[in-house]
Amino acid sequence: MRFSRLFAPTLKESPADAEIPSHKLLIRAGFIRKKAAGLYDILPLGVRTLLKIEKIIREEMNRAGAQEVSLPIMHPSELWIESGRWNVYGKEMIKFKDRHEREYALGPTAEEMITDLVRKEVRSYKQLPINLFQIGRKFRDEIRPRFGLMRCREFIMKDAYSFHISDKDAEREYWNMYETYSRIFKRMGLEFKAVEADTGEIGGKFSHEFMVIADTGEGKLVYCEKCGYAASTEKAEQAEPVISQGRESLFEEIEEVYTPDVKSINDVADFLGVDGSSLAKLIVIVADNKPYAILLRGDREINELKLLRLLKVKDFRFATDEEVKEFTGQEPGFLSPVNIRIPLIVDTSVAEMVNFYTGSGRKDYHLKNVNWGRDFSVEQFYDISEVKGGDRCPKCGASLIEKRGIEVGHIFKLGTKYSEAMNCVFVDENGNEKPMVMGCYGIGVTRVMAAAVEQNYDEFGIIWPVPIAPFEVEVIPVNVKNSQQMEVAEKIYKELKDKGIDVLLDDRNERAGFKFKDADLIGIPFQIVVGKKVSDGVVEVKVRKTGEKMEIAAEKVVEMVLSRLS
Ligand code: ATP
Ligand code: MG
């Protein structure tokens, strides 16, 4: 491709609404343009990268035995009514009517569509297992579309669904997909982690999210370098507490300390000259119209999902100061677990604490040397707080590392939720009819493009990993009016093209600095600069990622770049 013909409108400035690097850079480098909130035009450079991402996904899915299909984006409402999701999926689903007043949705995900196909065509255990995937547009009317391609209303997803005769076989395929996803993201050249994820209402332990590590990620994860445990912080479990046998012998006498005008946990800790881990904080919440007192170590936060699950509710909220007074008879901000009169739920993090501080129930006073087992009783500790970096690994006890990440893929064992609701059954060896056991596996294709940038950029622009770069090499003649430079540049360009390399020739009659800036911004891994030294038969190769520059004989440059690309 010649740059003079390339439709890649690059920009000096980032758009005002772009908050994160991938959004800014994909727009500035001419990969995407915003059409409306959460809707983007994808320009030729963007399509090139997306096609490479899709190619890797296709190859690996095919290799894993999955087969590609393509189902309509218009989903008839009947199928969603049958699965029970038409009214529960919520406002994210875009619904509309055709000219006959029949209702449809633009598919946000395709369990219903695929289950309908399989139930009609597959009857016997002999036809199973089957894993079908598609790569196509999905629509979700997100409340807050943002961060460019990261959270769109229309985006490209690879979604796969597998059908099995047994739970065991569904689990085998689950791990097959786990391996496949690991290969996919590795081949893309991305640093990622597969983390245990929340399984929502379906439950079970078969859900992993594939997270691309990046500081701007919306997700948090912890992992253990020693044993390989990795989980999203939503899901990560706290290690079993170690409660020493003779802890009672350490107990000191409880006393009241005067703590005027301190309210927040940090204020209290500062005032007392201790850190948050020496304090226990009590939080009053309301779930199902019932108040609960939640006790956590001062430096920890409630994990909402864990608490919801424990209480078996869909929702909870923090009590207002007024309610706190009414429910507990204590002063908000100075709450004490001692003699608390509403149900007390104590987090695991409190189990190892001895002689800690809590509120006293009275304004401006805290209690010192509080101990569970003496000052208030705990029948059971519950894991309801969020795991953090530095915590002990729940599997091996080593220290956990915390990172932020972007969810690019999700694998999930569905069980028989959809097959039962939609009567997707098969006849087994003994002639019995049974619901198929299902799994589903998604990759956010457009989100991968953004995540790759989020992980690979610098102040000059994008640094594409070679496997998903729109072009692998750019040839830059410094002065297009110099016939020798142009001749050599054209020759290198042609040779690389003949070798099947995606190469861009910057044949624009522009200043060299301007062209270098564009090359860096677009993020092409290798730049071959053909300048003055070409009269001595020498050109320069620049590696975008490292900034490394090498002079090399023009004759040898193709060979050299090819070896670096492989
Ligand atoms: P999230 O928690 O980020 O909303 P999700 O759990 O709703 O994601 P899935 O339903 O598992 O996502 O969809 C599969 C994949 O599709 C996700 O892993 C993600 O990469 C991608 N994806 C989901 N929603 C969006 C969106 N609004 N824009 C772009 N990609 C998305
Ligand atoms: Mg979502």
pLDDT tens across 535-549, in order?
A: 999 999 999 999 999
Whether residue 314 lies inside any domain: the answer is yes
Ligand 2 mean position to 151 CA, how many Å? 8
111: confidence class by pLDDT, cuts 50, 70, 90: very high
Q: Are residues 495 and 560 in the same domain?
A: yes
pLDDT exceeds cutoff 70 at 467: yes
For residue 158 and ligand 1, the question of a CB distance below 6 A is answered with no
pLDDT exceeds cutoff 80 at 405: yes
Q: Specify the residue with its C-alpha closest to ligand 1, atom 14.
A: 442
Cβ contact 478:529 at 8 Å: yes
Give the count of domains, the chain. Answer: 3
Q: Which two tokens stand for residue 82?
A: 């049958």
pLDDT exceeds cutoff 80 at 200: no
Q: Are residues 407 and 550 in the same domain?
A: no
Pocket test for ligand 1, best of 216, 410, 441 (most atoms within 8 A of CB): 410
Which residues on neighbouring strands pair with residue 219, listed in sequence order? 405
Question: Domain of 61?
Answer: 15-68+107-237+402-454
* 437-444 and 461-462 beta bridge pairing: unpaired
For residue 407 and ligand 1, the question of a CB distance below 6 A is answered with yes
* Of 245, 453, 263, 238, residue with least CA distance to 349: 238
Q: Are residues 358 and 450 in the same domain?
A: no
Indicate which CATH number applies to the domain containing 197: 3.30.930.10
Ligand 2 mean position to 303 CA, how many Å? 19
Q: Are residues 228 and 206 in the same domain?
A: yes
Cβ contact 445:408 at 8 Å: no
Q: Are residues 355 and 480 in the same domain?
A: no
Q: Tens digits of per-residue pLDDT, 240-266? A: 999 988 999 999 999 999 999 887 888
**Which of 426, 454, 482 corresponds to the end of one domain?**
454
Whether residue 338 lies inside any domain: the answer is yes
Whether residue 99 lies inside any domain: the answer is no
pLDDT exceeds cutoff 70 at 120: yes
For residue 140 and ligand 1, the question of a CB distance below 6 A is answered with yes
Whether residue 534 lies inside any domain: the answer is yes
Ligand 2 mean position to 146 CA, how many Å? 12
**Closest listed ligand to the CA of 153:** 1
Pocket test for ligand 1, best of 157, 206, 218, 449 (most atoms within 8 A of CB): 157
Q: Picking from 1-15, 71-85, 147-161, 251-265, which range would have the lowest pLDDT averaged per residue? A: 251-265
Indicate which CATH number applies to the domain containing 328: 3.90.960.10
Closest ligand 1 atom to residue 153 Cα is 27
Q: Are residues 112 and 226 in the same domain?
A: yes
Q: Are residues 443 and 481 in the same domain?
A: no
pLDDT exceeds cutoff 80 at 367: yes
DSSP alpha helices (H): ranges in 7-110?
Answer: 21-28, 44-63, 77-83
**Closest listed ligand to the CA of 218:** 1
Whether residue 391 lies inside any domain: the answer is no
Q: What percent of the chain has pLDDT over 70?
A: 99
Q: Tens digits of per-residue pLDDT, 36-85? A: 999 999 999 999 999 999 999 999 999 999 999 999 999 999 999 999 99
Whether residue 395 lies inside any domain: the answer is no
Q: Are residues 311 and 432 in the same domain?
A: no
**Closest listed ligand to the CA of 405:** 1
- φ, ψ (nearest 5 deg) of residue 180: -60, -45
Q: Tens digits of per-residue pLDDT, 415-443? A: 999 999 999 999 999 999 999 999 999 99
Q: Are residues 221 and 133 in the same domain?
A: yes
Q: What is the mean pLDDT of residues 276-291?
A: 95
Q: Are residues 268 and 232 in the same domain?
A: no
Closest ligand 1 atom to residue 108 Cα is 10
Q: Specify the residue with its C-alpha closest to ligand 1, atom 16.
A: 444
Whether residue 80 lies inside any domain: the answer is no
Note if the pTM is more than 0.85.
Answer: yes
Indicate which CATH number applies to the domain containing 535: 3.40.50.800
DSSP class of residue 13 equals S
Q: What is the mean pLDDT of residues 101-105?
A: 98
Q: Residue 81 has what pLDDT?
A: 97
**Which of 382, 417, 439 corresponds to the end of one domain?**
382
Q: Specify the residue with its C-alpha closest to ligand 1, atom 25.
A: 151
Q: Residue 201 has what pLDDT?
A: 63
Q: Are residues 302 and 357 in the same domain?
A: yes
Q: Specify the residue with its C-alpha closest to ligand 1, atom 19.
A: 444
Whether residue 228 lies inside any domain: the answer is yes
Q: Are residues 180 and 39 in the same domain?
A: yes
Closest ligand 1 atom to residue 442 Cα is 14
**Which of 410, 427, 454 corresponds to the end of one domain?**
454
* Of 309, 416, 373, residue with least CA distance to 83: 416
DSSP string, 156-211: EEEEEEEEESSHHHHHHHHHHHHHHHHHHHHHTT--EEEEE---GGG-SS-EEEEE
